[in-house]
Structure 1
Amino acid sequence: MALETWLIYLVAVIGLSLAPGPNGLLALTHGVMYGHKKTLFTITGGVLGFVLVIGLAMFGIGALLLASTDFLLLFKWIGGLYLIWLGIRIWRSPAMELKPIAKAQVVSHFALFRQGALAAITNPKVLLFFGAFLPQFIDPKLSLVSQFIVMAATFAVVEFAVEYLIANVATKIRPWLARSGKRFNQCCGGLFTVIGASLPLYNN
């Protein structure tokens, strides 16, 4: 990949990572609930999920989704139902208590990793976006595998940095949440539910 092409891609990826989405919201929520250190597992799961999606998009699954209406609809419903389920769980979570994070919540690292990965993988908008976005930067004369490594690594580093920044900010607002933690949970849970409910209605 030429340097000028990579720089344009880098700017586009930064803009994409800063745009609100399920994984950024999950990093924010988990940062508040578990602290930024444990949220690293959520972020890592999400980043690896995105790398998988990039691979699927670059190697042809994006075209399959665009060609198969039934498969796309099924994928939308799976992703939507998962985000709705996640939203309900967050909505029902008890209000944040201001005590040491290590004692505030008991959750396995794998559970955090799984939630991050599923939030990325089950969102068909992401796969469709990458299916349309990545070809703009692919050079058919070069190895697709080497281009995948560069593009996936670039996105992974940027996405990880942005989500970790979000988680750090979330950790610092915990004192404020001691006064309004339940409303925060309901707001985040409601956003997840709205995003999940909108996926099957998305026709582009």
Structure 2
Amino acid sequence: MGIKMWIVQLSLNTHIELKDKSNARCYIEGLSLTLSNPKPILFFMSLFPQFIDSQGSYISQFITLPLTFCCLVIAIHSGYAFLASFAKHKLLEPKGWKVLNKISGSVFMCFGVGLAASSK
């Protein structure tokens, strides 16, 4: 498989059709999915009380912790979105496909050599 990936010539004639959705609709869908998921609620109920100071104001602490978490999540997900957009543009170019095939083929060939060299 690794050698085949090195040799194969791919055509980029495929056209990807995306459904047109407004930003507001995407936001509402994501928000409703997040609010209906019980895992984050359980996560926050088990994590945040450990960082609450019983001598301090509860309201300011309960506001600060989720806001800090939200800011970090926004920054991390924005980084993911930037990297995905960058990768999409690079991989849609013929040179990007060739580089990806060479890397993937190399990995498969290394796996094959490792499998052949293993004693089990």
Decide which structure has the larger Cα Rg and report it.
2
Q: Pick from 135, 145, 155: which aligns with 2:59?
A: 145
Task: For structure 1, list consecutive stretches of 5 or more residues without a partner in the other structure.
Answer: 1-94, 99-103, 180-204
Matched, 1:97 2:26: no
Higher relative contact order (CA 8 A, sep 6+): 2
> 1:159 deviation in Å?
0.5
> 1:115 deviation in Å?
2.2
Q: Which residue of 1 aligns with 2:47?
A: 133
The normalised TM-score by structure 1 is: 0.35
Query: Do the aligned partners of residues 96 and 147 (structure 1) sit closer, same or farther apart at CA in structure 2, a change above 3 Å counting?
Result: farther
Task: For structure 2, list consecutive stretches of 5 or more residues without a partner in the other structure.
Answer: 1-13, 95-120
Count residues in correspondence: 80
The normalised TM-score by structure 2 is: 0.56
**Does the CA contact (< 8 Å) of 1:96 and 1:177 recur in 2?**
no
Q: Which residue of 1 aligns with 2:26?
A: 112
> 1:96 deviation in Å?
6.2
> 1:106 deviation in Å?
2.1
Structure with the higher fraction of residues in helix conformation: 1
Measure, in 2, the Cα distance between the counterparts of 1:122 and 1:155.
19
CA RMSD of aligned residues (A): 2.6
Instruction: Report sequence identity in percent.
Output: 30
> 1:116 deviation in Å?
2.2
- Runs ≥4 residues deviating over 2 A: 95-98, 175-179
